[in-house]
Chain A
Amino acid sequence: MSALTDDSIPVTPRAMRDEMIVFAAMAVLLGLVPLTGIYPFFVMQALCFALLACAFNLLIGYGGLLSFGHAMFLGTAGYCSAHALKVWGVSPEIGIVVGIAGAAVLSVVTGFISIRRQGIYFSMITLALSQLLYFIYLQAPFTHGEDGIQGIPQGYLFGIFNLARPTVLYYVVLAGFLGGFLLIYRTINSPFGEVLKAIRENEPRAISLGYKTDQYKLLAFILSGTIAGFAGSLKVFVAQNASLTDVHWTMSGEIVLMTLVGGLGTIFGPVVGAFVIIAMQQYLAGFGQWVTVIQGVIFVACVLTFRRGVIGEIAHYFRRSL
């Protein structure tokens, strides 16, 4: 099977330095957003999806596994957090932990099942599993079916930070995003990440070198699902609801699209892609179903002419890894 990223550039100290510079620039720029008067809700939403896309990218870009069901982690963590916050009345930090735990348990179970097949079958299995979960949530009483869980209290994080204030919430979400991003970055550049890349490039060879590739893939799947769950928990505080849209296959498709637009297997690509797609949805909201058509056109255009994505093209042009 041919690799998804055609020209992998080896990780050198210079590449690491480039990446840290870009990361610092990104953090500063995002930190300045509240001063600019940009609608913070939009940026917070984009940050949640950016983290989600980064988690998804860990699996496809570095493990070569295309999950078509990543919305299930977003939705599951969202439901768990929302339920804990609203019905049990726990504090925000406990709510986030409950959401992450829910996604982690789900990713262990679904990972164990889906990792048994590779390539195209893996994608179909994850899609089918997320559809199974969708129907379960549709009928389960605690999700309130079509209505979803609404009016979730935001509360005080660690008893100090008032999440009902948009600026405070913004910095909390930003901190969560940057933390999650660094965790993924660290994973990619760890020995574990290197083995993962080796499996992506040539699985039989990795097996012959003595690596238990299934365990590596399962661990990557669990990590990806859990971080995706973290994004889902953060999103609950932003949107103040948890609904079926977050579990639907269209959401899984959007996650794939964000990563594809930004660049599969690039570090910053999913972030750019998430902002592009969320911005597009905001500005084109009045066009109804044409948004779906435009998303389809972007999919087709990306696959046919623009497979490296925005960041992938830039990185390729400068011969850097981004």
Chain B
Amino acid sequence: MQALYAQLLVGLINGSFYALLSLGLAVIFGMLNIINFAHGALYMMGAFTAYFLLHLTGIGYWWALLIAPIVVGIFGMVLERTMLQWLAGLDHLYGLLLTFGIALIVQGVFQNYFGSSGLPYAIPDYPQIGEWRGLQGGMNLGFMFLPVYRGWVVIFSLVVCLATWFLIEKTRLGAYLRAATENPTLVRAFGINVPRMITLTYGLGVGLAALAGVLSAPINQVRPLMGADLIIVVFAVVVIGGMGSIMGSIITGFALGVIEGLTKYFYPEASNTVVFVLMVLVLLVKPTGLTGRAA
């Protein structure tokens, strides 16, 4: 049973990354009509930014959680201003090709300097309150041993996902965003700067990817290709869940992570492929995806 709970936890963690990444993809697709193939590379950049912050400037994990998404988000906004914005009005496929090229460049540059092996990033050991050593160590829940950091990743990701959902579905800014997704020309006529909103949206989506990268750095090590295979799984998650609903992305992401974790326990040979197999099944039964609109 211990092993089953451990795999479920790993599944929940992977699910948080799927949720954070597919959420960003959905938000970006809504505003820019682009599938951001560079999402995996930007996730990797988030992890590397945390690594650089620690090893070059001594800035630790907690600040990295804030700084890395901002730095990578700004990088993303520069990409949007200099390149992606010129694709408006063209076929969607050009956005995919352009961001695929950006992903190759970013991953290639990092591979040149850091090879393909992983760089370690320690779990923070502060603040120290009583017995707590930051996020290190673990606690005994009676039925399983829970490493504190892993529990933290799941809870924090869930909070960030729900905050994003709240921002988009329940605030005035989110209302502008949804309106601009439906009809950008009309929203512009109301005096809202839609191009700036598009840039900020891209920054937000990319920032979420970078945040996932920082969260994963202590678990999965920091590697130039850490996002390359992940993004393909996230694409499958997006196909399964559809990009029509924010909450749908979150639920699908976590659910698929858990299913993957269960597969690792019951039939480990299929753990790499289970998400893709589920995608095929969903396409056969309900081609529009679980929550998606027809596209």
Q: Do A and B bind each other?
A: yes
Chain B interface size band reads 35 or more
Q: Which of B108-116, B119-127, B129-137, B251-259 contacts A (4 or more CB under 8 A)?
A: B108-116
The number of A-B residue pairs with CB atoms under 8 Å apart is 131
Q: Is the CB of A300 within 8 A of B239?
A: no
On whether the beta carbons of A135 and B280 are closer than 8 Å, the reply is no
Does A296 contact B105, Cβ atoms closer than 8 Å?
A: yes
Is the beta-carbon distance between A136 and B91 smaller than 8 angstroms?
no
Task: Please state if A293 and B112 are interface contacts (CB–CB under 8 Å).
Answer: yes
Closest A residue to B280 by beta carbon equals: A113
Inter-subunit contact B101/A292 (CB<8 Å): no
Contacts of A128 in B (CB 8 A): 232-233, 235-236, 239, 276, 279
Q: How far is the CB of B90 from chain A (nearest CB, A)?
A: 6
The reply to whether the CB of B97 lies closer than 8 angstroms to some CB of chain A is yes
* Cα distance, A281 to B93, chains bound together (Å): 25
B103 contact set on A, CB distance < 8 A: 296
Task: Please name all residues of chain B whose beta carbon is closer than 8 Å to the beta carbon of A303 when the two chains form the complex.
Answer: 87, 94, 97-98, 101
Instruction: Give chain B interface residues in 196-255, CB to chain A under 8 Å.
Output: 229, 232-233, 235-236, 238-239
Interface residue A279 (Cβ < 8 Å from any Cβ of B): no
Task: Give min CB distance, B183 to chain A, whole Å.
Answer: 18
Q: A128-B276, A289-B111 are in contact. Are A2 and B91 (CB under 8 A)?
A: yes
Quick check: is A125 within 8 A (CB to CB) of the other chain?
A: yes
User: Which of these, A118, A121, A253, contacts B100 with CB under 8 Å?
Assistant: A253
A304 CB-CB contact with B under 8 Å: yes
A302 to B233, CA, bound (A): 27
* Cβ-neighbour of A296 out of B102, B239, B276 (below 8 A): B102
Cβ contact within 8 Å between B232 and A120: no
B83 interface residue per 8 A CB criterion: yes
Q: B93 near A300 (CB under 8 angstroms)?
A: no
Where chain B touches its partner, the secondary structure class is helix
Among A1, A3, A4, A296, the residue within 8 A (CB) of B101 is A296
A299 to B37, CA, bound (A): 13
User: Across the interface, do A293 and B287 meet the contact criterion of CB distance under 8 Å?
Assistant: no
A300 with B232: CB separation less than 8 A: no
Q: Which residue of A lies closest to B281 (CB)?
A: A113
Taking the closest CB of chain A, its distance from the CB of B33, in whole angstroms, is: 9
Q: Is B142 an interface residue (CB 8 A)?
A: no
Asked if B93 and A123 make an inter-chain contact with CB atoms under 8 angstroms apart, the answer reads yes
Which residue of A is nearest B287, CB measured?
A116
Q: Tell me if A189 is interfacial: C-beta within 8 Å of chain B.
A: no
B86 touches A2 (CB 8 A): no
B280 lies within 8 A of A129 (CB) = yes
Q: Which residues of B contact A121 (CB under 8 A)?
A: 239, 295
Given contacts A2-B90, A131-B276, contact A300 B283 (CB under 8 A): no
A136 touches B273 (CB 8 A): yes
Interface residues of A in 289-322 (CB under 8 A from B): 289-293, 295-300, 302-304, 307
- Known: A120-B35, A124-B35, A300-B98. Is A293-B105 also a contact (CB below 8 A)? yes
Is B232 a contact partner of A288 (Cβ separation < 8 A)? no
Question: CB distance B295 to A296 under 8 Å?
Answer: no
A299 near B283 (CB under 8 angstroms)?
no
Known contacts A127-B232, A132-B277; is A297 also within 8 Å of B101 by CB? Answer: yes
Q: Answer yes or no: A205 CB below 8 A from chain B CBs.
A: no
**Most B C-beta atoms less than 10 A away, residue of A129, A138, A292:** A292
How many A residues face the partner with a CB closer than 8 A? Answer: 47
Contacts of A3 in B (CB 8 A): 91
Chain B minimum-CB-distance residue to A292: B108
Asked whether, in the complex, the Cβ of A290 is within 8 Å of the Cβ of B112, the reply is yes
Does B83 lie within 8 Å of A293, measured CB to CB?
no
Report the separation of the CA atoms of residues A264 and B20 in the bound assembly, to the nearest whole angstrom. 34
What is the 8 Å Cβ interface bit string for chain A, positions 91-131, against chain B (1 contact, 0 not)?
Answer: 00000000000000000000001101111110111011101
Bound-state Cα–Cα, A125 to B112, Å: 30
Instruction: Tell me which of A68, A118, A297, A300 has the highest count of chain B C-beta atoms within 10 A of its own C-beta.
Output: A300
Q: How far is the CB of A38 from chain B (nearest CB, A)?
A: 29
Chain A residue numbers with a CB within 8 Å of B232 are 127-128, 131, 249
Q: With the chains together, A298 CA to B97 CA distance in Å?
A: 11
Cβ contact within 8 Å between B239 and A253: no
Q: Does A236 contact B (CB under 8 A)?
A: no
Contact, CB under 8 Å: B295 / A125: no
Smallest CB separation, A214 vs chain B (Å): 11
**Least CB separation from A136: chain B residue:** B273
A260 within 8 Å of B by Cβ?
yes
Chain A residues lying within 8 Å of B284, measured Cβ to Cβ, are 113, 116
The listed residue (B90, B101, B111, B280) touching A299 by CB distance below 8 A is: B101
Of the A-B pairs whose beta carbons lie under 8 Å apart in the complex, a sample of 16, sorted by A's number, is A66-B93, A116-B283, A117-B288, A120-B35, A121-B239, A123-B96, A128-B232, A131-B233, A289-B111, A290-B112, A292-B104, A292-B105, A296-B106, A300-B101, A300-B105, A303-B101
Which positions in B face A, CB cutoff 8 Å? 29, 35, 83, 86-87, 89-94, 96-98, 100-109, 111-112, 229, 232-233, 235-236, 238-239, 269, 272-273, 276-277, 279-280, 283-284, 287-288, 295
Extra 15 A-B pairs, beta carbons < 8 Å, given A118-B295, A299-B97: A117-B287, A119-B93, A120-B93, A124-B35, A125-B279, A256-B100, A288-B112, A290-B108, A292-B105, A293-B108, A296-B101, A299-B98, A300-B83, A300-B102, A300-B105
